[in-house]
C-alpha cells in the first residue's frame, strides 16, 4: 500500500511543488495539504496519514504546537519537519513535541522522498549538520552531576510539564498556579540548571532523568 502523506505549509507555491512531487511518486499518496495548523488539526485525524510534512512558521498556531496536538490525537502519525529554520531551539522543540525527523527546505527532492519512506519505516531523517548537532549535544559529558536533584518538587513538576511541550499558560492551568508563579519557576529553574533557554532546560532535564 502507498504511504499516505499530508502537507502543512502556508506557502502555496511550496505546497503545490510538494504535492506534485508526492503525486509523481508511485509509493506515496497525497491525502491533503493545509495552509495552517487549525485546518490541519481539523482534517488530519480524520484522514489518518502515515506521514505529515510540517512547516514551523505558520499563521496562528505554529508548526511545533501543531505537532504536539497531532501526536495527542493521532499517536501513530510520523511528523517530518520541513522548514527553513536551522537553529537549535527550533530543532529541539520540534523533537520534544514529537517530530520524528527534521529537514531543511533546501533538501533535494530525491532525498525528501527517501526521508518520507525512512520516517515511515521508523527512522529519524535529519539534515546532516543538524543531526551532528544533536549527537554532539548528547555526547557531551555531564560535568555538573545531577542539578535536577536541587530542584523543589514544584520546580520539577514545572520542568516535567515543560518537557511535555506545554506552553506557560497551559502549565499554569495544569498545575493550578498563577502565570506569575510559572515565570518565577522559569527564572529559578534556569538559574539552578545553568541554562538560558527553554530547550536547554528541557534537554538537560531529559538527559539527567535518562529519558532520551
3-state secondary structure of 79: strand
Contact residues for 101 (Cβ-Cβ < 8 A; gap 6+)? 78, 79, 80, 81, 115, 118, 119, 123, 124, 125, 126
Q: Give the chain's domains with CATH numbers.
A: 3-138 (3.40.50.2300), 147-208 (1.10.10.10)
Question: What is the pTM assigned to this prediction?
Answer: 0.68
Grouped pLDDT means (10 residues each) for the chain, 212 residues: 97 97 97 97 96 97 95 92 91 86 93 92 80 61 60 88 75 92 89 74 66 44
Beta carbons of 175 and 184 less than 8 angstroms apart: no
Amino acid at each position: 500500500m502507498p504511504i499516505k502523506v499530508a502537507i502543512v505549509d502556508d506557502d502555496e507555491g511550496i505546497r503545490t511543488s510538494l504535492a506534485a512531487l508526492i503525486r509523481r511518486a508511485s509509493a506515496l499518496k497525497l491525502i491533503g495539504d493545509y495552509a495552517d495548523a487549525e485546518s490541519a488539526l481539523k482534517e488530519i485525524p480524520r484522514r489518518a496519514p502515515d506521514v505529515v510534512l510540517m512547516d514551523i512558521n505558520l499563521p496562528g498556531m505554529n508548526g511545533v504546537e501543531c505537532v504536539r496536538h497531532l501526536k495527542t490525537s493521532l499517536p501513530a502519525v510520523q511528523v517530518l519537519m520541513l522548514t527553513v529554520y536551522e537553529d537549535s531551539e527550533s530543532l529541539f522543540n520540534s523533537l520534544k513535541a514529537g517530530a520524528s525527523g527534521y529537514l531543511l527546505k533546501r533538501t533535494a527532492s530525491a532525498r525528501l522522498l527517501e526521508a518520507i519512506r525512512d520516517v515511515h519505516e521508523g527512522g529519524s531523517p535529519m539534515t546532516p549538520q543538524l543531526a551532528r548537532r544533536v549527537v554532539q549535544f548528547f555526547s557531551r559529558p555531564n560535568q555538573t552531576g545531577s542539578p535536577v536533584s536541587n530542584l523543589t518538587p514544584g520546580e520539577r513538576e514545572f520542568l516535567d510539564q515543560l518537557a511535555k511541550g506545554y506552553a506557560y499558560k497551559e502549565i499554569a492551568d495544569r498545575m493550578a498556579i498563577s502565570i506569575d508563579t510559572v515565570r518565577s519557576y522559569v527564572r529559578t529553574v534556569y538559574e539552578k540548571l545553568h541554562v538560558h533557554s527553554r530547550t536547554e532546560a528541557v534537554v538537560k532535564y531529559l538527559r539527567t532523568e535518562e529519558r532520551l
